[in-house]
Amino acid sequence: MFSKVSDNAKVFINPDAIGFGETYGGLPVVYKTVLPTDYLTYKVSGNTVTIRDCKETISGALAIPLTYDGKPVTSIGNMALKNCSSLTSVIIGNNVTSIGRGAFVRAAAA
């Protein structure tokens, strides 16, 4: 079904969708309610990206994106998800190699 995709590729599905298992087309399924680009602020530095901030209105499950603007998201900055108290979970892939101090202060999923 899918060809020429990264080994880290995932299928994001609305949690209200039915009929999906743990995989779809051989890729892992992530049930997700929000698009990270709508709620996160990014800082691009050279060839890497850091998540700097989030809108406090973000809710549900959040999957930290693998890339932003074609560059890998490698870190979550200091206090980046502070006060995001309506998150139910945060999925962090192995692309993230650094998590800043207080990144999840008062974040419900933390």
Cα radius of gyration rounded to whole Å, the chain? 14
Query: Which domains are assigned to the chain?
Result: 1-31 (no CATH), 34-110 (3.80.10.10)
Question: What's the whole-number mean pLDDT along residues 20-41?
Answer: 73
Per-residue confidence at 18, pLDDT binned at 50, 70, 90?
confident
Alpha-carbon span 99 to 6, nearest angstrom: 23
Q: What is the dihedral of CA 15, 20, 24, 27, to 10 degrees?
A: 50
Judged against a pLDDT cut of 80, whether residue 96 lies above it is answered with yes
Judged against a pLDDT cut of 60, whether residue 34 lies above it is answered with no
Is the pTM of the predicted complex or chain greater than 0.85?
no
Give pLDDT, residue 102. 94
